[in-house]
């Protein structure tokens, strides 16, 4: 299906907006601001690469999500990764090595991918991979962490490699955070925030937005407390139900509209922080941006998937290049069909219509 608008331009404008907001948010931190200005130049060069590829008929997304381990020390209520068995307590059979991930990071840099979100499991269990990421200064690596493994060695690494940005998961105030993540986690996060502020390190938070907490996590009280502790980015992630019993937690159009209005106002009134929403308003981007439209996902075993919430794969980067993975039969079918454009009740269209995704994989194998 032909795009109704120029998706690459839409993504480029979005990336430029994020980078300019990040520069504005770091103006009082000379070292971080200097890095962001340098990264802005690298990001513009990457956008130019993607624009040239687009004009030649190849679409390259600006974002990649990399789940670098399947291990995690927490058991958060309703965790999508545990529900899909992507995260387990068992010792993993085969995870990509730091050298294999570095090869992926190198290929991403060559293609013009500017942002690689490091996830898990708990990504800070793989210090070797995070150190490898630190060497790729043209790419910004937000690290989505539960915050329980941040230590002096990590603080030193973040100080040295300013392209590594810890993004700590928090659910709201103490009661709500500890009830989902475990007793004592909130206090640990606050201690990490204070440590980052004392060292002049930039960090952000990730908030899972549900029908239960959407007002609390967008409240003046909650966001002001983060700002006072030096937080520079708040990423609102809409809850995606991976089990029938948690479906009522997924934000509906009502909560999404509330969140969009709040974010627009926050960007105007509080420029000291960057505010992002994921997946955000799919209507403005012509549908879901998974499967390589705006991003795709590589799991800890190397499988290239449309999205962490849609753990289906027909290609592994151990046996293919990153470029080849982006053009897998599954990704190509999803981008060329109407499935990514379909409406859905809440959460993720690919998870909601997983039977159709599985059918596409079966079709590609015949």
- Predicted pLDDT at 168: 97
Tell me the pLDDT band of 175, cut-offs 50, 70 and 90. Answer: very high
64 vs 285, more confident: 64
- Does pLDDT of 280 surpass 70? no
Tell me how far apart the alpha carbons of residues 115 and 295 are, in angstroms, rounded to a whole number: 9
Tell me the pLDDT band of 23, cut-offs 50, 70 and 90. Answer: confident
pTM for the full model? 0.92
- Predicted pLDDT at 346: 57
Burial (CB count within 10 angstroms: exposed 0-12, middle 13-18, buried 19+), residue 10 = middle
pLDDT tens figures, 224-272: 999 999 999 999 998 887 666 667 888 888 998 899 899 989 988 888 8
- Does pLDDT of 30 surpass 90? no
- Spatial CA neighbour of 288 closest among 263, 264, 309, 266: 309
| Residue bearing tokens 């994020």 | 18
Residue 345: Cβ within 10 Å count: 11
188 vs 342, more confident: 188
- Predicted pLDDT at 3: 45
- Predicted pLDDT at 2: 41
pLDDT tens figures, 54-113: 999 999 999 999 999 999 888 777 776 777 777 777 767 789 999 999 999 999 999 999
Mean pLDDT of the residues in the chain? 88
53 vs 5, more confident: 53
- Spatial CA neighbour of 331 closest among 300, 296, 303, 363: 296
Q: Which domain holds residue 156?
A: 7-364
Structure-derived torsion over alpha carbons of residues 357, 105, 302, 246, reported in degrees to the nearest 10? -50
- Does pLDDT of 1 surpass 50? no
**CB contact at 8 A, 70 and 95:** yes
Residues near 141 by beta carbon (within 8 Å), at least 6 away in sequence:
115, 116, 117, 118, 130, 133, 134, 163, 164, 165
- Spatial CA neighbour of 147 closest among 222, 214, 77, 203: 203
Q: What is the mean pLDDT of residues 197-203?
A: 92
Q: What is the mean pLDDT of residues 327-334?
A: 92
Supply the CATH number for residue 119's domain.
Answer: 3.20.20.70
- Predicted pLDDT at 245: 65
- Spatial CA neighbour of 309 closest among 81, 146, 70: 81
- Predicted pLDDT at 241: 76
With respect to residue 1, please indicate whether it lies within any of the assigned structural domains: no
pLDDT tens figures, 100-109: 999 999 999 9
Residues near 208 by beta carbon (within 8 Å), at least 6 away in sequence:
169, 171, 180, 237, 238, 239
| Residue bearing tokens 């993504």 | 11
- Does pLDDT of 209 surpass 60? yes
- Predicted pLDDT at 244: 64
- Does pLDDT of 285 surpass 80? no
- Predicted pLDDT at 299: 96
152 vs 80, more confident: 152
Q: How many domains does the chain have?
A: 1
Q: Which helix (H) or strand (E) element contains residue 201?
A: none
Tell me the pLDDT band of 126, cut-offs 50, 70 and 90. Answer: very high
Q: Which 3 state secondary structure label does DSSP give 66? A: strand
* % of residues, the chain, pLDDT over 70: 91
- Predicted pLDDT at 90: 72
- Spatial CA neighbour of 233 closest among 343, 144, 111, 130: 144
Tell me how far apart the alpha carbons of residues 57 and 315 are, in angstroms, rounded to a whole number: 22
Tell me how far apart the alpha carbons of residues 318 and 328 are, in angstroms, rounded to a whole number: 14
**CB contact at 8 A, 180 and 77:** yes
Ranges 142-151, 239-248, 292-301, 303-312: which has the least confidence:
239-248
With respect to residue 2, please indicate whether it lies within any of the assigned structural domains: no
The length of the chain is 366
- In three-state form (DSSP H/G/I as H, E/B as E, the rest C), the secondary structure along 240-295 is CCCCHHHHHHCCCHHHHHHHHHHHHHHHHHCCCCEEEEECCCCCCCCCCCCCCCCC
């Amino acid at each position: 299906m032909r795009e109704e608008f120029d998706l690459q331009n839409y993504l480029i404008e979005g990336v430029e907006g994020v980078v300019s907001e990040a520069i504005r948010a770091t103006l009082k931190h000379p070292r971080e601001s200097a890095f962001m200005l340098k990264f802005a130049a690298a990001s513009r060069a990457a956008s130019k690469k993607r624009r040239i590829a687009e004009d030649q008929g190849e679409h390259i997304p600006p974002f990649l999500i990399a789940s670098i381990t399947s291990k995690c020390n927490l058991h958060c209520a309703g965790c999508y990764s545990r529900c899909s068995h992507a995260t387990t307590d068992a010792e993993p059979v085969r995870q990509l090595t730091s050298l294999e991930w570095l090869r992926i990071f190198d290929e991403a840099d060559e293609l013009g991918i500017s942002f690689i979100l490091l996830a898990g499991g708990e990504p800070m269990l793989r210090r070797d991979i995070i150190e490898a990421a630190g060497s790729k200064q043209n790419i910004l690596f937000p690290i989505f962490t539960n915050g329980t493994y941040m230590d002096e060695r990590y603080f030193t690494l973040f100080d040295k490699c300013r392209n590594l940005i810890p993004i700590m998961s928090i659910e709201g105030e103490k009661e709500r955070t500890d009830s989902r993540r475990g007793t004592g986690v909130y206090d640990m996060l606050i201690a990490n925030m204070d440590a980052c502020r004392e060292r002049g390190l930039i960090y952000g938070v990730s908030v899972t937005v549900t029908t239960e907490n959407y007002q609390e996590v967008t409240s003046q009280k909650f966001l002001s407390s983060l700002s006072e502790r030096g937080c520079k980015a708040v990423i609102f992630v809409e809850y995606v139900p991976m089990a029938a019993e948690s479906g009522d937690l997924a934000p509906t159009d009502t909560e999404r509209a509330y969140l969009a209005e709040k974010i627009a106002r926050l960007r105007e009134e509080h420029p000291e922080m960057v505010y992002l929403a994921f997946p955000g308003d799919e209507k403005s981007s012509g549908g879901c941006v998974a499967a390589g439209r705006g991003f795709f996902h590589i799991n800890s075993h190397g499988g290239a998937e449309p999205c962490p919430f849609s753990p289906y794969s027909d290609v592994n980067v151990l046996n293919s290049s990153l470029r080849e993975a982006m053009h897998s039969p599954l990704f190509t079918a999803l981008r060329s069909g109407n499935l990514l454009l379909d409406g859905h009740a809440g959460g993720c269209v690919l998870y909601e219509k997983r039977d159709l995704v599985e059918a596409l994989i079966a079709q590609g194998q015949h």
